[in-house]
Amino acid sequence: MSTQILEQIFDSSIRVRLFKLFLRNSDSMYRVQDVASRIQANTRVVKKQIDGLYEIGFLKKKTIGRGASKKMAKRNKKKSGERGRGAGVYFYINRYFDFYEELRSLVLKSSPASLSKLARQIGELGRIKLAVLSGVFINTENCRVDLFVVGDAISKRKLKRLLGSLEAEVGKSINYSVLTTDDFKYRYGMFDRFLLDILEGPHKKVINKLKIE
């Protein structure tokens, strides 16, 4: 049985995104359509994958009626920032799944994206002077931000698209901050606590045209 379960675990990139979503948000419940939106995948494909994970016991499900949907909305919003979307069949992780701890350790330690690819994507947002990765990108908890960007003429449309893509890949909302070059230099010169927390804490600079140590 264990071998059969393992053979079904890593059969697609969609399934990997599902693992990340449910493992990083273990207190939340999601409907199929909500999951598809979060991981940017086709609803039919997601349903098939979720059904498979339910069959092997990785996921459990619960039917939420109209009266209980408001309570579920508050719970999801409080736990993961997810808006509730009404009644329906919700899926959630089974913490007693045979390989729960192993999968959780593997997923949380996995790199969301190659640093070179991420640096290139960030560099295309505008005139980027500094890009710092922390939090989910370096597998560190309790960081001020996951992504910190300094630059000018940054495209909000491109930034929104990049964040959506990254959130779909890592399975959680990206906590980010963006500053213009002038704002950063002023706050850096004033020993701003927010900036110090980022730059003195665990992080990885993927773009550093400002030569910040």
Asked whether residue 149 falls in the same domain as residue 184, the answer is yes
How many whole angstroms separate alpha carbon 134 and alpha carbon 144?
A: 8
Asked whether residue 67 falls in the same domain as residue 138, the answer is no
| Domain limit, last residue, from 109, 132, 161 | 109
The CATH number of the domain where 41 resides is what?
1.10.10.10
Asked whether residue 78 falls in the same domain as residue 119, the answer is no
pLDDT, residue 140, reads: 85
Task: Name the residue with tokens 């989910």.
Answer: 136
48 — pLDDT class (breaks 50, 70, 90): very high
| Domain limit, last residue, from 93, 109, 125 | 109
Asked whether residue 105 falls in the same domain as residue 119, the answer is no
Q: Are 158 and 127 in contact (CB under 8 A)?
A: no
| Domain limit, last residue, from 60, 82, 109 | 109
How many whole angstroms separate alpha carbon 84 and alpha carbon 34?
A: 9
How many whole angstroms separate alpha carbon 183 and alpha carbon 64?
A: 47
Q: What is the separation of C-alpha 109 from the centre of its chain, rounded to a whole number of angstroms?
A: 13
Q: Span 167-172, mean pLDDT? A: 88
What confidence tens digit (pLDDT) does each residue in 78-130 have? 554 445 557 789 999 999 998 899 888 877 776 666 778 899 999 999 999 99
Asked whether residue 159 falls in the same domain as residue 73, the answer is no
Count the domains in the chain. 2
How many whole angstroms separate alpha carbon 53 and alpha carbon 141?
A: 27
pTM: 0.76
What confidence tens digit (pLDDT) does each residue in 119-131 have? 999 999 999 999 9
Q: Span 138-144, mean pLDDT? A: 86
Q: Span 48-75, mean pLDDT? A: 80
pLDDT, residue 75, reads: 57
How many whole angstroms separate alpha carbon 118 and alpha carbon 16?
A: 19
- Phi/psi of residue 30, nearest 5 degrees: -135, 145
Nearest Cα neighbor of 104 from 115, 113, 91, 93 is 93
Q: What is the separation of C-alpha 212 from the centre of its chain, rounded to a whole number of angstroms?
A: 27
Residue span of the structural domain in which 89 resides: 2-109
Asked whether residue 190 is domain-assigned, the answer is: yes
- Listed in sequence order, the residues at least 6 apart from 114 whose beta carbon sits closer than 8 Å to its beta carbon are none
Asked whether residue 213 is domain-assigned, the answer is: no
Q: Could you tell me which residue, 14 or 47, shows the higher pLDDT?
A: 47
pLDDT, residue 3, reads: 41
Asked whether residue 98 falls in the same domain as residue 123, the answer is no
- Listed in sequence order, the residues at least 6 apart from 25 whose beta carbon sits closer than 8 Å to its beta carbon are 79, 80, 82, 171, 172
